[in-house]
Structure 1
Amino acid sequence: MTLRAPNPPLAIGFMLTATAFIAGTMILAKLLGTGALGTPFHPLQVSHGRFLFAFLALGTMAAVLRPQIRRPDLRLHVGRTAFGWGGVTLMFAAVAYIPLSDATAISFLNPVFGMLLAIPLLGEKVGPWRWLAAATALIGALVLLRPGPETFQIAGLLALGAACLMGMELIFIKKLANREPPFQILLINNAIGLCIATLAVVPVWTMPTTGQWAALAGIGLLMAAAQACFVNAMARADASFVTPFSYLTLVFAALYDGMVFAVIPDRVSMLGALIILSGATLLALRERKRGISI
Structure 2
Amino acid sequence: MVAILEVKISQRIAMVAILEVKISQKVAIKAILEVKISQIYCHGSHTGSQDFTKDCHGSHTGSQDFTKDCQGSHTGSQDFTKGCHGSHTGSQDFTKDCHDSHTGSQDFTKDCHGNHTGSQDFTKDCHGSHTGSQDFTKDCHGSHTGSQDFTDDCHGSHTGSQDFTKDCHGSHTGSQDFTKDCHGSHTGSQDFTVDCHGSHTGSQDFTKDCHGSHIGSQDFTKGCHGSHTGSQDFTKDCHDSHTGSQDFTKDCHGSHTEVMISQRIAMVTILEVKISQRIAMVAILEVKISQTIAMVAILEVKISQQIAMVAILEVKISQRIAMVAILEVKISQ
Relative to its length, the structure with more helix (as a share) is 1
TM range (shorter): under 0.3
Higher relative contact order (CA 8 A, sep 6+): 1
Relative to its length, the structure with more strand (as a share) is 2
Length-normalised TM-score, structure 1: 0.20
Length-normalised TM-score, structure 2: 0.19
